[in-house]
Amino acid sequence: MKQWKRLFTVLMTVVLIGSLTACGNTEKAEEPKEPAATTQSETETALPDSSQETETAGSNALVVYFSRTGEQYTVGVIDHGNTAIVAEMIAEETGADLFEVLPEDDHYPMTYAELTDVAKQEQNENARPAYAGELPDLAGYDTIFIGAPVWWGDWPMIMYTFFEENADLLAGKNLVPFSTHEGSGLSGFDRKLEGACPGATIGKGLAIRGNDCQNAQEKVREAVSGWLAELGF
């Protein structure tokens, strides 16, 4: 009789342990646990390496600019345009690529007086002069610095050709305007760029005196560096 009792107790113990284990499994399967709350820093460190690579690759920048050589206001005849000098400084400091907007048929005359007449006429006609050269694939850039001399208080008309021809690709980009001038400052380049490039984000612009580009380059470099630092470059 004692033996039967012992066997019965052993059997009951086995059945009890089995059913408890089964309950544990059922609970896990039926009630999925919420993901553990993570702090922001945990989330950042948890990011896979590939996302960090994407961020670096995506921060590629391009500098697009228009600039003239020849006779220029307050500086005489120059062989390196004022805006070109600023564009090259930006490219040096950021590692950005450069694209110069060059008139297809270089119809701009060399004397300052003639150039102002032609520029005024283009503005009055709302002309869209063609530009030459092979533009790099804009899809590969997040930030595009865009610079030109102020001409009659506005972007030279050829820049509107650039904005309109590339409107689709410029939408969604971070566009950062810069000007060289002899008194007009940025002359609404930022506002006008926003109007010409719907869908783009417009960054804080920079205005540099044309004369300083030829005669005070350290001052210009400091202004460019400070501005780039403010923009996070």
Ligand X SMILES: Cc1cc2nc3c(=O)[nH]c(=O)nc-3n(C[C@H](O)[C@H](O)[C@H](O)COP(=O)(O)O)c2cc1C
104-to-73, 78, 131 alpha-carbon distances in Å: 24, 21, 5
Stretch that binds ligand X, among 40-48, 67-75, 92-100, 127-135 (CB under 6 A): 67-75
DSSP code for 151: B
Binding flags for ligand X, 183-212, as an x/- string (CB under 6 A): xx-------------------------x--
- Residue 178 sits at φ, ψ, to 5 deg, of -145, 150
Q: Residue 76, interface with ligand X (CB under 6 A)? A: no
Which one of 88, 91, 93, 152 is in contact with ligand X (CB under 6 A)? 152
Residue type, 226: G
Rg (CA), the chain: 32
Q: Residue 67, interface with ligand X (CB under 6 A)? A: yes
Stretch that binds ligand X, among 25-33, 51-59, 64-72, 220-228 (CB under 6 A): 64-72
Cα distance between residue 149 and residue 224, in whole Å:
16
Which one of 119, 146, 159, 176 is in contact with ligand X (CB under 6 A)? 119
Nearer to ligand X among residue 150 and residue 228 (C-beta): 150
Q: How far is the CB of 83 from ligand X (least distance, A)?
A: 3
User: In terms of DSSP bridges, do strands 61-65 and 97-100 run parallel, antiparallel, or are they unpaired?
Assistant: parallel
Q: Residue 108, interface with ligand X (CB under 6 A)? A: no
Residue 130, sorted as left (phi over 0), alpha (psi -120 to 50) or beta, turns out to be beta
Helix (H, G, I), strand (E, B) or coil at 187: coil
Give me the residue whose beta carbon is nearest to ligand X. Answer: 210
Which one of 61, 90, 150, 175 is in contact with ligand X (CB under 6 A)? 150
153-to-25, 86, 102 alpha-carbon distances in Å: 76, 19, 20
- Residue 173 sits at φ, ψ, to 5 deg, of -90, 165
Q: Residue 143, interface with ligand X (CB under 6 A)? A: no
Stretch that binds ligand X, among 53-61, 96-104, 176-184, 217-225 (CB under 6 A): 176-184
Asked if 86 contacts 180 with a C-beta cutoff of 8 angstroms, the reply is yes
Asked if 93 contacts 228 with a C-beta cutoff of 8 angstroms, the reply is yes
Partnered with residue 132 across adjacent β-strands are 102
Q: Looking only at residues 37 through 56 of this chain, which bind ligand X when binding is defined by CB under 6 A?
A: none
Stretch that binds ligand X, among 48-56, 80-88, 137-145, 190-198 (CB under 6 A): 80-88
Q: How far is the CB of 148 from ligand X (least distance, A)?
A: 7
Q: Residue 214, interface with ligand X (CB under 6 A)? A: no
- Site of interaction with ligand X (CB under 6 A): 67-68, 72-73, 81-84, 112, 115-116, 119, 149-153, 180-184, 210
